A = this chain, B = another copy of it.
Amino acid sequence: MTLTHETPSPIAEEQLTVLGARLRAALDGPFAAERAVGRATFPADGMHLDPAVGMEDAREWTLARLIELERRGFGHSGVPDGANAVSDPLTAVTTFEMLAHGDLSVTIKSGVQFGLFGGAVTNLGTEWHHRTFLPGITDLTLLGAFAMTELGHGSDVQHLETTLTYVRETDEIEIHSPTPSARKAYLGNAARHGTMAAVFGQLVVDGEQHGIHVVLVPIRDDHGVDLPGVTTGDHGHKGGLLGVDNGTLQFDRVRVPRRMLLDRYGGVTDEGVYTSPISSTSKRFFTMLGTLVRGRVCIGGGAGITARRALSIAVRHGLRRRQFPAAGRPEGVLLLDYLTHQRRLLPRVAEAYAYGFAQNELVELLVKVQGPADHTEADQRELETRAAGLKAQTTWFANATVQEAREACGGFGYMSENRLTQLRGDVDIFATFEGDNTVLMQLVAKALLTGVKESWSALDRSGVVQATTRMIGEAMVERTAANVIVERVADGARRRPEETTLVDRGWHALMFEERARHSLDSLARRMRAASKSGGDQFEAFNRLGGHVQFAARAHVQRQVLGAFITALEQDLDAQTREVLERLCSLYALASIHEDRAWFVEHHRMSLGRSKALGDQIDALCRELRPHALPLVEGLGVPEAWLGTAFLED
């Protein structure tokens, strides 16, 4: 059975336009070297599975592919393979990116094994765990599940029901699922291949709860049979990622030796006493979860790559396929020459660049926080907020983009051999796992509002009780590089915003700045009013749900624009700069256009300007149209890797 499309020498053939190569270098940015090496060395032969293959074959192929990649040096994604080794975040992220160019089941199974299961052992475990388990994890002889989510508690980790009870008599930890809703669910590696799980639950020592901890629990024997007390389940067929064996785990008073508890942030001493370097249960919880931020960074990156793949397919298709004949075009109009078609695809190409630059900054921050260099607690907090926000935005973007690409390719797009429908099925769940997007956006808003509250209290303490909303607003802006640059660029347009052109970067920055600032100010005010209102507190806050999402999105978009503007400050030749400037304008205007009602309602933009936006976006699309091929080359997906049948005609 040949399960793969063979692509023997995939990268050697790649011939880019000069502009395409330069755009790619600019977009790869600080990681241009790593990514170039990745593209040149990634084992791209056999990277795509035949989409007609059923679930059982897909599962086995995915594991085999993972083992093959490990054998060829593209394995364990930055997880250290020995005791006390330091994990390498940059390798983890770039490996994940390369994997996301191929079958996404492989990408995600790798993420489960190395990022989640391996990450838990690395980050939450201590020396004995590293020495004992990391070798097997990295060489794939020990496959594990990351057992956090429960059926009854999807996004609510703090209230998981599973209990991890210390049993003094035998010096063991007893893992138990007290109710049906405590069943662990959706876990990769749980349905078939995993023999161990990192199980999240409430640690109880002598009747006292110490909050969420993680323990390693063997779940299957070598023959794949459930161990006593463990019940594994299989979610079976899914909407995508068929090669990932998602399943459930239920525990009936299963016991493991005490040392299986991953005890970096909290454990039980030889005397049977609970001990932790972090005294606050809540702070300990967030510290433990904070180590998982890398997963969100990777998922956002993978979603970005998926969107780029879809855009590469759809734009290349639009450059080949002709439609109805028209005046002066007897052979038919090239699809991408229709303005409506350009409007479907080119603003999304611009957005893909924007998210790419933002992702670069996020990875730099991840490397700063998780690498050997020093970092502050503020860095860690900022990393968490940015990772949450960007993961939500890029995964939503990827979903919408793959669907748009599918429709833009018409019937071609629906044939599995052209990959788009499989990409859509696979990337769909990215919006839900590693944190449901809507919940993540709430986290972003909450983090910003915590900032408000702190600034506010500080103001109060210093006697400036009459803090105006404006002051509160200014106080809460994170002083990140991206925000500083947006503010600086915006200043150029602040005095006479309506006298700028529509492609004035200062005006874009001002609009993004005002949207983020005002929506957060307004949310803070409403939150305050809600907290003081009588009646049903839940309902008082519940009414603000839409505002929360809007403010969080505006905040993320400001960061993304800041990243794009920063990227434009790198050394670029004239043509590359001109194209990137237009892309930046297209990204900014598309975002302003989408929210133009808000800008007009809040007197940030005149009606005349609002009406002119659409034509300006059209004009940018027309200006960028001649560069369509270099633009998708710049997205960095080698044509040979697309694995798309219609491009091979």
Contacts and interface: CB of A to CB of B under 8 A. Distances in A.
Q: How many copies does the complex hold?
A: 2
Given A415-B238, A546-B343, A428 B432 contact: no
Interface residues of A, number: 77
B52 A339 contact: no
A618 interface: yes
A538 B333 contact: yes
B325 A411 contact: no
B339 A415 contact: no
A322 B152 contact: yes
Contact of A429 (B149, B159, B399, B414): B414
B339 A239 contact: no
Interface string A600-621: 1101000100110010001000
A597 B618 contact: no
A159 B545 contact: no
Interface stretch (A372-380, A417-425, A474-482): A417-425
Contact of A411 (B154, B417, B600, B614): B154
Interface stretch (A353-361, A402-410, A484-492, A570-578): A402-410
A433 interface: yes
A343 B548 CA distance: 13
A322 B546 CA distance: 20
Interface string A262-273: 000000000000
Contacts of A328: 536-538
A327 interface: yes
A582 to B, nearest CB: 18
Contact of A542 (B338, B417, B607): B338
A416 B236 contact: yes
Given A323-B154, A536-B328, A338 B545 contact: yes
Nearest to A601: B611
Contacts of A417: 236-237
Contacts of A548: 340
Contacts of A601: 600, 607, 610-611
A328 B541 CA distance: 13
Contacts of A607: 600-601, 603
Nearest to A186: B411
Interface in A334-377: 337-340, 343
Interface in A299-328: 322-328
Given A399-B403, A601-B610, A410 B432 contact: yes
A213 to B, nearest CB: 21
B55 A52 contact: yes
A148 B577 CA distance: 47
A498 to B, nearest CB: 15
Nearest to A155: B323
Contacts of A237: 50-52, 415-417
User: What are the 6 A-B residue pairs with the smallest beta carbon separation, nearest first?
Assistant: A239-B421, A340-B545, A52-B237, A237-B416, A597-B597, A327-B537
Interface of A: 50-52, 54-55, 149, 152, 154-156, 159, 185-186, 235-240, 322-329, 332-333, 337-340, 343, 399, 403, 406-407, 410-411, 413-417, 420-422, 424-425, 428-429, 431-433, 436-438, 536-538, 542-543, 545-546, 548-549, 596-597, 600-601, 603, 607, 610-611, 614, 618
30 contacts: A51-B237, A52-B55, A236-B416, A237-B416, A238-B421, A239-B420, A239-B424, A239-B425, A327-B536, A327-B538, A328-B538, A339-B542, A339-B543, A339-B545, A339-B546, A340-B438, A340-B546, A399-B403, A410-B432, A413-B432, A414-B429, A421-B428, A425-B425, A543-B618, A546-B614, A597-B597, A597-B600, A597-B610, A600-B601, A601-B610
